[in-house]
Amino acid sequence: MGEALTGLKRSCMCCEVNESMINKEVTVMGWVQRRRDLGQLIFIALRDKTGLVQIAIDGNVAEKELFEKAESVRSEFVLAVRGQVAPRTEGNINPNMKTGKIEIIASELRILSEAETTPFQIEDNITVKDDLRFKYRYLDLRRPSQLNNLVLRHKVVQVMRNFLDQESFLEIETPILGISTPEGARDYLVPSRVHPGSFYGLPQSPQQYKQLLMLSGMDRYYQIAKCFRDEDLRADRQPEFTQVDMELSFIDVEDILDINERMMQKVFKDILDVDIPLPLKRMTYKEAMERFGSDKPDIRFGMELVNISEVVTGTDFAVFKTALEAGGSVRAINAKGCGTFPRKKIDKLVEFVKTYRAKGLAWIAINEDGSLKTQIAKFFTEEKLQEIVEKMEGKPGDLILICADQDKVVFDSLGALRLELSRILELTKADDFSFLWITEFPMLEWDEEESRFVAVHHPFTAPMDEDLPLLATDPGKVRAKAYDIVLNGYELGGGSIRIHRRDVQQKMFGLLGFTMEEAQARFGYFLDAFKYGAPPHGGLAFGLDRIIMLMRGASSIRDVIAFPKVKDASCPMTDAPTFVDEKQLDELAICINQEIVKAAETAE
């Protein structure tokens, strides 16, 4: 049974105990990291959120009851300890502990709570499956690395809040229960008991609310906003995530970029003491795709895409010829120093790009003597192969990898391949931060399945002023006043200047296939607000989880979220989502297909 805390007050945290407190009495509280029993001398490493301090109990000096109690202590017991701070002897100083030069000679010890053996050790550098970690997430969070992730998150948010306050932003909360809107991913829906058959939609972002705040005259708004998207998960994606969301009035693109890069500069300087030079680099969407095959390129290494379509035009190699005749392209990357890759390793790269719908890779390895080795030798003359090598600035020891297909497939395949090669070759470091703005995104893209244009960002993104005439003549060429901030191959945030003119908004809806009646049905309350005077406005939303992940050098955003979901959007700790009882369903006027329930129960 645990003892009461009555009469004891914690005087300091574990790592606050230092040499200036020698001979003073302190009271500390926390969890037992480990216990060492040396016969008549027991050492306990006590842990709280600040770290470890050593507790010493000498059986030759301590009262019998105190010593026996110390003997019964096990890992993860919760203790309160009162005692005198003493210096460690020279041979017992631990340079790896912040408190390694002192210890506390216990005069009182209370076992506040006992603990069973934990499913894994509470320490870093352990090997344990993620499912087990997240099932016992409250134990996982006791580990220093996981605790430090949340401390970092807290500090970043504090810096952001202070910065935005200095920039005259108001922090305003927007509703979680709202209307379901089409925003690119599936909504999470919440049934209404009061309105049977009707549902609230959880926000994928506060997009419309923050625009309405600009129409309300708030001028500058921000929010640390919870957002929800029902989409397939990956390392940097969760069904519920956090945005640093903002919107500003009477501004242009330059104003928004300036404020946000200054905020990022301050965050990285204050938290990591890393200097981010301003202004940040900029690159248009078109340039990013041509050079890196991605709209969120990692520019810390080269291996850029090169268009070799002109070089191979007129050849009889069917793969290249078919791609070019279909309006596609032939592009390549030069993997410096990879010419010695064995065939088995190259074949793995071929299989890798097939996951991005590429049909394969052609390759040319340049031997140390300058001779070429390639699986397409019989389709090309030696002179033509050398021409490709020259175009790629190939040198002995290089490996040229070539993809031919429609541009989207080529960009996706080679863009992903250069990242995979950088991982294999260890070309980047987690603490090398390279920021980049991507601008001038296409406003619209053609959806083959629906035979209509869809918005690349959302229907309220403004077109570039000089491209306005193209809305009527060539909508696919219209560029948007949209921008993304990218860090090390990850999109940190994105936004745009919004449409505030009703005539332009009507044109946009028409291009997206909405009649005005349909637009009014979907966005009526939002469009009505624009009748009463709308300021020019725009905004941006950062993915807070991704920022923390990259600052921490973590491999997944799950490690920087207190209680994340796993890959099937479930929570191993709580078993959410779960079925609810029939009474609740009846109140919500919901009927469940029992065949689906039985199938799910069988699968479990």
The pLDDT assigned to 486 comes to 98
pLDDT tens by residue, 371-397: 999 999 999 999 999 999 999 999 999
Pick from 100-114, 247-261, 521-535: least confident: 521-535
The pLDDT assigned to 183 comes to 55
Burial class (CB in 10 A: 0-12, 13-18, 19+), 436: buried
Burial class (CB in 10 A: 0-12, 13-18, 19+), 136: middle
**Structure confidence at residue 600 as a pLDDT band (50, 70, 90):** low
**Structure confidence at residue 603 as a pLDDT band (50, 70, 90):** low
- pTM of the predicted model as reported, rounded to 2 decimal places: 0.91
pLDDT tens by residue, 4-15: 999 999 999 999
The pLDDT assigned to 456 comes to 86
Angstrom distance (rounded) from CA 24 to CA 28 = 13
**Structure confidence at residue 568 as a pLDDT band (50, 70, 90):** confident
Inter-CA distances, 375 with 311, 329, 369, Å: 18, 20, 18
Q: What's the chain's average pLDDT?
A: 93
**Structure confidence at residue 49 as a pLDDT band (50, 70, 90):** very high
pLDDT tens by residue, 14-43: 999 999 999 999 999 999 999 999 989 999
By the 8 A CB rule, do 439 and 256 touch?
A: no
Q: Which residues neighbour 309 within 8 Å (Cβ) at sequence distance 6 or greater?
A: 324, 329, 330, 331
The pLDDT assigned to 555 comes to 87
Mean pLDDT of 244-264: 98
The pLDDT assigned to 597 comes to 64
The pLDDT assigned to 13 comes to 97
The owner of tokens 């190939």 is 394
The pLDDT assigned to 457 comes to 85
Structure tokens belonging to residue 135: 């099932």
Helix (H, G, I), strand (E, B) or coil at 402: strand
Q: DSSP H helical segments within 355-490, as ranges?
A: 382-391, 407-425, 470-473
pLDDT tens by residue, 272-309: 999 999 999 999 999 999 999 999 999 999 999 999 99
Structure tokens belonging to residue 404: 């031919």
Pick from 80-89, 233-242, 382-391, 432-441: least confident: 233-242
